[in-house]
Amino acid sequence: MPELPDLTVVAEELIRRTAGRTVREATAPTPILLRSTPEELAALAGSTVGETRRRGKFLLIPLVRSDGEQRILAANAMLAGRFWLVPHATRVRARTGLRLRLDGDKDLRYVDREMLGKLYLLGPDRLDEIPGWSEMGPDADDPELTPERFHERIRRHPGELKPLLRNSRFVAGIGNAYSDEILWAARLAPFRRRSTIGAEDIDRLYHAMRSVLADAVERLRVLIPPNIETQHREFLKVHLRGGEPCPRCGRELRQIGGREATTFCRTCQPPL
C-alpha cells in the first residue's frame, strides 16, 4: 500500500511530467472505481492538468476545465491502486478506473488489481464529501506538526502504538510498512499502549517518525522515477524481514500476522 514517502515522490514525478498538459479524452474503463458522473467525466476533455499534491494517503490531481471550472481528482489507492504514465497504446492487464489521454504520447491511468481503491472527482470545495477527509489529522511530515503539538495530540489518542501511528485521525500518511520502521527506529514495541510510554519515548517516536519518512523520500526519489507504478520497499530495515537478524542488535526479528504483518525486534523493542 502506498504511504506518505511513496506518494510524495509520485506527486513530484507527476508534477514534473503532467503539469500543464491538456487532457484530450477522459474515460473510465472500470467505472465502479470512480465516484463521478458520465457528464463530469466527459467534461474533463480539454482540461489542463495542475500540480499534483499529496494529503494523507490521497493524491490530489487538479484539473482546470476549458470552461474555467476546477475539479480535483482525489485518489485513495488502498492496497494495489497505482497511477501509470504510459504510451497511449500500452496494454495494462488490470482494472483501469480512469484513463486520461494527455497531449504528447502519454496516458495517465489509474489501475487497481484489487479494486479496493477509490477515485473521486470533485470541486475543490467539496473534498469533505470524501469519507474520512474532514477527520484527517495533520500529515506526518507537516512542518506545523511540532514536537509540542505531537505530544498534545498523542494524549488524545489511546491504544497500542502501531494502530495509533496508522490512524489518520492522529497523523496522516503512515501505513503498515512505515509504522514498523518508525517503531523500530524509536525502540518502541508495536503492542505497547500509549498510556505506558513517557515524554522521552514520545519525543523519540516523533523524531523517528520524521527521520524515517524523510530518509525514505530521499531513497525513493532515486528509485521510483520514471516508473511511478512501481513500489520499492527493498531498503526498509525491518518490515517483512521476520527471521532475519535485527540490523541493530543481531537477534532474530519477529513477525506476526499475514498480509498485514507486523515485524519488530523483541530485544530492541521490549514489551515494557
Residues that bind Zn ion (CB under 5 A): 246, 248-249, 265, 267-268
- Name the minimum Å distance from CB 192 to Zn ion: 15
- Partners of 133 in the β-ladder: none
- Cell, residue 117: 481503491
- Name the minimum Å distance from CB 167 to Zn ion: 26
- Name the minimum Å distance from CB 181 to Zn ion: 13
Q: How far apart are CA 98 and CA 83, in angstroms?
A: 9
Toward Zn ion, which CB reaches closer, 221 or 266? 266
Distances (CA, A) of 146 to 171, 173, 175, 202, 231: 12, 16, 21, 12, 29
DSSP-derived secondary structure letter, 264: E
Q: Nearest residue by C-beta to Zn ion? A: 246
- Residue 75: CB atoms within 10 A of its CB come to 27
Radius of gyration from C-alpha coordinates of the chain: 20
Q: How far apart are CA 200 and CA 81, in angstroms?
A: 38
Toward Zn ion, which CB reaches closer, 157 or 266? 266
Toward Zn ion, which CB reaches closer, 10 or 246? 246
Residue pair 47/71 in contact by the 8 Å Cβ criterion: yes
Toward Zn ion, which CB reaches closer, 154 or 246? 246
Toward Zn ion, which CB reaches closer, 202 or 246? 246
- Name the minimum Å distance from CB 206 to Zn ion: 21
Toward Zn ion, which CB reaches closer, 21 or 237? 237
Strands (E), 131-206: none
- Name the minimum Å distance from CB 214 to Zn ion: 22
Residue pair 133/118 in contact by the 8 Å Cβ criterion: no
Q: Which helix (H) or strand (E) holds 101?
A: strand 96-102
- Name the minimum Å distance from CB 30 to Zn ion: 44
